[in-house]
A = this chain, B = another copy of it.
Amino acid sequence: MPERIRHSALLTDLYELTMSAAYFEDNFDAIASFEVFIRALPPQRSYLIAAGLEQALDFLEDVRFEPEDVEYVRRHPVFSRIGAEFFKRLENFRFTGEVWAMPEGTPIFAEEPFLRVTAPIIEAQIVETFLLSSLTFQTMIASKAARVVEAAQGRDVVEFGSRRAHGPEAGVLAARAAYVGGCSGTSNVEAGRRYGIPTFGTQAHSFVMAHRDEEESFRNFQRLFPEHGVLLVDTYDSLAAIEKIVKAGLRPKAIRLDSGDFVELSREARRRLDRAGLAETRVFVSGDLDEFVISNLLAEGAEIDSFGVGTALATSKDAPTLSGVYKLVDVDFGQGPLGRVKLSSEKSTYPCRKQVFRKVEPDGSFAGDIIARENESYPNTKPLLACVMREGKRIGQRPPLKDVQQNARSLLSKLPETYRRLKNPERYPVRFSDDLQSRLEEIRNRLIASR
């Protein structure tokens, strides 16, 4: 399954290249470690599901500057005083570093590093922009999907949002992330081909409208897709359309409601289908759904078998960004890593390479996390970060996406319900280790003293 995505090193911010030029010209020969974490959860989220790691690793294995990329950089006015050697460095650019990461599907919380890059500082810097947008976008969508799937209480949720995603490629990635988060599949065909995700479809209003009459459109479709037909009934009048299906003796896999009062309509649809001997025909609902709408529909007694969720899911509409950052935590000039911190008013950071330890109760449930230095250890905890890339090469096999999804479902079930309910969840306990705290204080005091 080729990715079809060019992994151009130009998928970066210009300052990564100017800083790289400065490091290069100054022979600033350091190995740097950067960690990715989400600064704070959006108000509407009590946990996140890590996703996007495979695309990040694909990029790191493959990233390079094509000749036209180097040419672009060379001609850029900002590089007018940079010598030819730097552009040669770009021509030969490869990522040769080490990556630690949590597996995709891991529930994560604010401030927890879920990916760490250790590499020559130029390499670590140039890949920042791609890594951040890949990881934060898929994490955001997988997290939204997990909530929608939770609200559906075991019913299938299909991701339908490609047309409203942030461009065509965002639609493909959203479909993948939604599947990681627990969706049964997607309408996005390229996501099906590229990632092996199950793809589903129904009918558009245009199909019904194009035909001279609605019943003809249903008959024609049902004849060709007898086991798969999901007939869209709301183009003119939903209940009247169901009557037409019944009278025509059609036995579709499902009917799809896309507008109106879904509680009333779904119950009446169910009643009419059952009365006509179509107990097997499912009721599929779409149209401006999200986790809250679904939860309310079910609480009010709607009789719905599965949901198509589009815009709200593919854009994480209520929380369309995550405060993902990529922060320098140490620099090694050849005498061992030196911790680094940033002190800016609202946004200080912790130094040193870290590990996240998750406390596991005897029944397997998660009881809180400790963000610690990587060499610490805590009893009855599980370290979440593992080495996934060394010298620029992936370690081990790419897990099948179905396994990633199952792993996510299983891990999420170990997060007590009190931390994951849709409304008023409690805050999952996460703390920094004492060792990390004292390292932070030590460096901070030294920085302040040196001024």
Residues of A within 8 A of B (CB): 2, 4-6, 8, 10-19, 21-23, 25-26, 28, 30, 32, 34, 68-69, 72-73, 76-78, 81-82, 121, 125, 128-130, 132-134, 136-138, 160, 162-174, 187-190, 192-193, 199-207, 209-211, 213, 220-221, 224-226, 228, 234-237, 240, 258-260, 311, 315-317, 320-324, 326-328, 331, 340-347, 447, 450-451
* Contact assessment for A134 and B17 in the assembled complex, using a CB-CB cutoff below 8 Å: no
Give A257 to B109 CA distance when docked, in angstroms: 29
* Contact assessment for A162 and B189 in the assembled complex, using a CB-CB cutoff below 8 Å: no
* Closest beta carbon of chain B to A420's beta carbon, Å: 24
* Closest beta carbon of chain B to A141's beta carbon, Å: 8
What residues of B have a CB within 8 angstroms of the CB of A138 in the complex? Answer: 167
* Contact assessment for B13 and A160 in the assembled complex, using a CB-CB cutoff below 8 Å: yes
* Closest beta carbon of chain B to A254's beta carbon, Å: 13
* Contact assessment for B164 and A324 in the assembled complex, using a CB-CB cutoff below 8 Å: yes
* Closest beta carbon of chain B to A326's beta carbon, Å: 8
What residues of B have a CB within 8 angstroms of the CB of A193 in the complex? Answer: 10, 68-69, 72
Complex A-B, nearest 5 residue pairs according to Cβ-Cβ distance, in ascending order:
A15-B201, A14-B201, A320-B320, A166-B166, A169-B169
What residues of B have a CB within 8 angstroms of the CB of A72 in the complex? Answer: 189, 192-193
* Contact assessment for A346 and B168 in the assembled complex, using a CB-CB cutoff below 8 Å: no
* Contact assessment for B133 and A8 in the assembled complex, using a CB-CB cutoff below 8 Å: no
* Contact assessment for A204 and B451 in the assembled complex, using a CB-CB cutoff below 8 Å: no
Q: What copy number does this chain have within its complex?
A: 2
Give A123 to B324 CA distance when docked, in angstroms: 40
What residues of B have a CB within 8 angstroms of the CB of A315 in the complex? Answer: 166, 320-321
Contact of A224 among B25, B132, B206 (CB under 8 A): B25
* Closest beta carbon of chain B to A223's beta carbon, Å: 8
Q: Most B CB atoms within 10 A — which of A174, A209, A346?
A: A209
* Closest beta carbon of chain B to A382's beta carbon, Å: 30
* Closest beta carbon of chain B to A191's beta carbon, Å: 9
* Contact assessment for A210 and B170 in the assembled complex, using a CB-CB cutoff below 8 Å: no
Give A19 to B12 CA distance when docked, in angstroms: 40
* Contact assessment for A225 and B164 in the assembled complex, using a CB-CB cutoff below 8 Å: no
* Closest beta carbon of chain B to A104's beta carbon, Å: 15
* Contact assessment for B237 and A130 in the assembled complex, using a CB-CB cutoff below 8 Å: no
Give A192 to B15 CA distance when docked, in angstroms: 13
* Contact assessment for B237 and A343 in the assembled complex, using a CB-CB cutoff below 8 Å: yes
Given A137-B165, A166-B137, is A240 in contact with B342 using a C-beta cutoff of 8 Å?
A: no
Nearest B residue to A86 via CB reads B224
* Contact assessment for A169 and B171 in the assembled complex, using a CB-CB cutoff below 8 Å: no
Give A205 to B164 CA distance when docked, in angstroms: 35
* Contact assessment for B340 and A209 in the assembled complex, using a CB-CB cutoff below 8 Å: yes
A-B residue pairs in contact (CB < 8 Å), sample of 15: A2-B68, A10-B190, A11-B172, A73-B189, A121-B210, A128-B204, A133-B171, A134-B168, A163-B324, A163-B326, A167-B167, A167-B169, A167-B173, A209-B341, A213-B450
Contact of A342 among B133, B209, B225 (CB under 8 A): B209
What residues of B have a CB within 8 angstroms of the CB of A311 in the complex? Answer: 321, 323
Contact of A192 among B14, B209, B342 (CB under 8 A): B14
Give A209 to B328 CA distance when docked, in angstroms: 8
Given A26-B220, A202-B15, is A225 in contact with B81 using a C-beta cutoff of 8 Å?
A: yes
Give A311 to B166 CA distance when docked, in angstroms: 13
